[in-house]
Structure 1
Amino acid sequence: MTGIGPRERNEGNGTDDRAVSEVIAFVLVFAIIIGSVGILYMTGFQSMTDFQEGEQMRNAERAMSALGENLNDIQRNSGIQERSGELSLRGGTVSTTDGGTELNISVLEDNVTLGSVTYQQDSSLIAYEGGGVFRGVEGEPDQSVVLDRPRLTCNTESKTAVISLINISSDGDERSIGGDDTVEVTIVENKTEVNTESVEDVNITVADDSSSYRNGWSRALNQSGWEWDDDNDTGTCDDAETVTVRIVEAKVEF
């Protein structure tokens, strides 16, 4: 007769090892999943942030270009002395200043220091200056580009040059406003000076360290028919027999 008693434990059959292996595998898989989710979250979040900031600046470019188009009416039409436009801040800051790019125009006795209307978001800048629109990076003038060129025409066929600029003057009352609201920007003409001369050629020099948009100005001149000299920061209109310089001084309010 066979008795029924306690079974002996079979040592070394691998059951415990398999259990430990399964736990380790589970922990590793779980760690990989959590790590992957974390990496995707961080990189995805940064990509979304970069995309949002880039789109915001592109919107600001379009808004400033539209604003500049409105404000330039006082330059194009002598019968218009005031124009307004809107600019959505979207967390940025808009400001006016007298101290912008300084231009030496060879047919004028004094340099022209252009004021500007500038939209800033972090270190990115978009400025309405001289009747043009420029984009730049704070403290990096060589990274700037021109979005809308000022009226700087060099026509070698007709042997004429036209320099027409809007000079923003705040009369010492520089303004700045930030937030998320939409701001109405109004430009009012103070005076206009026109000077026409007979010349052999005419030069426009961007004064050293005066401009946050030096590279933008060089491109604007080059694209308008001027021969640009990088060494001297000077644009030249060769063989021009007549040059007309028109400076519209205006004040901006918002």
Structure 2
Amino acid sequence: MIRENKITEDENAVSEVVGFILIFGMVILAIGIIYAFGYPMLQSNMETSVFESSEQSFIVIQSNMKAVAFEQSPVKTTKMKIQTATLAYSNESFIQIDYNGTTIKKALGRIELIQDEKKIVYESGGVFKRYDRDSQVLVSNPHIFSTVAASGENVVSVGIISLYGNAASSGGGGIISLSMEHNTSQLTQMNDNATLTLTVNSSLAPRWATHLEEEGFTITSSSDTEVTAQMTNTNVIIGEHVVDVEIT
């Protein structure tokens, strides 16, 4: 009888140990599954949230650029939290203006937040979102507008904001600062009531085309990287503004 009781007690002890090991193994397995599948999803959602919230930061950049370029405020600084994204300056885009025998060609420069294939871009007054090559959104318009003067004549205002800085980028998390400093401004008015032709070379050309068309231009050619648009019988005011930028 004593021997049987001892065996029963030993079996109970072994059962408790085995039960503990099984429960502990299940807990470890659950943690592993959460880490393997849940953490990447959480990280992805966090990165998406940061990317979408960065749109508001670029609206602030747009406002600060306007103050520096048009109102000639000496210096403006915008701070952004970018997590795993990269904030970069590049000078790949340009605009060409042809009007009654006069040609003006200016580099635009751009500030862009890059996260994987997604981008938020500031380019010559406009704010753009690019999810991939075929998916682009114009968030806020560039400074090109068509109006009718009191005299009844059409007037196109072309505000060019050219950015100059080091072809640099900064990323890897933390707080990033973008400094904007006024360099030069020049205003040209031409009242020849002639044909105005604008050519924009940019990876965001399709969205530039949309904006120019909405302003009454006729699109004469368009591709993924360049758009040419015309408006006949118009006067034109061209504001050329240079802003120095630095990312730290």
1:89-108, aligned counterparts within 5 Å? 89-99=82-92, 101-107=93-99, 108=102
Q: Is the 8 A contact 1:118 1:126 kept in 2?
A: yes
Q: Secondary structure at the match of 1:212?
A: coil
Matched, 1:163 2:158: yes
Match for residue 63 of structure 2 among 65, 69, 93: 69
CA offsets per residue over residues 31-86 of structure 1, 9 Å max, x none? xxxxxxx8xx96x87876664443232111121112221221123314x2322212
Structure 2 segments unaligned to the other structure (5+ residues): 1-32
Higher fraction of strand:
2
Match for residue 138 of structure 2 among 128, 146, 162: 146
Distance 1:188 1:231, change over 3 A: closer
1:32-111, aligned counterparts within 5 Å? 51-78=45-72, 80-99=73-92, 101-107=93-99, 108-111=102-105
Structure 1 segments unaligned to the other structure (5+ residues): 1-37
Report the equivalent of 2:117: 123
Larger radius of gyration between Structure 1 and Structure 2:
1
Q: Is the 8 A contact 1:95 1:119 kept in 2?
A: yes
Report the equivalent of 1:247: 240
In structure 2, C-alpha distance between the alignment counterparts of 1:87 and 1:48, rounded to whole Å: 21
- Aligned length in residues: 205
In structure 2, C-alpha distance between the alignment counterparts of 1:162 and 1:246, rounded to whole Å: 8
Match for residue 214 of structure 1 among 205, 212, 220: 205
In structure 1, C-alpha distance between the alignment counterparts of 2:79 and 2:50, rounded to whole Å: 16
In structure 1, C-alpha distance between the alignment counterparts of 2:83 and 2:216, rounded to whole Å: 37
In structure 2, C-alpha distance between the alignment counterparts of 1:176 and 1:235, rounded to whole Å: 32
Report the equivalent of 2:11: none
Matched, 1:190 2:183: yes
CA offsets per residue over residues 177-233 of structure 1, 9 Å max, x none? 1022122211111111221112323121223xxx22111211222333433345482
One-letter amino acid of the counterpart of residue 213, structure 1? L
Distance 1:235 1:176, change over 3 A: same
Report the equivalent of 2:214: 223
In structure 2, C-alpha distance between the alignment counterparts of 1:193 and 1:72, rounded to whole Å: 14
- Identity over aligned pairs, percent: 18
Q: Is the 8 A contact 2:86 2:113 kept in 1?
A: yes
Report the RMSD for the aligned CA atoms in angstroms: 2.6
Q: Is the 8 A contact 1:155 1:161 kept in 2?
A: yes
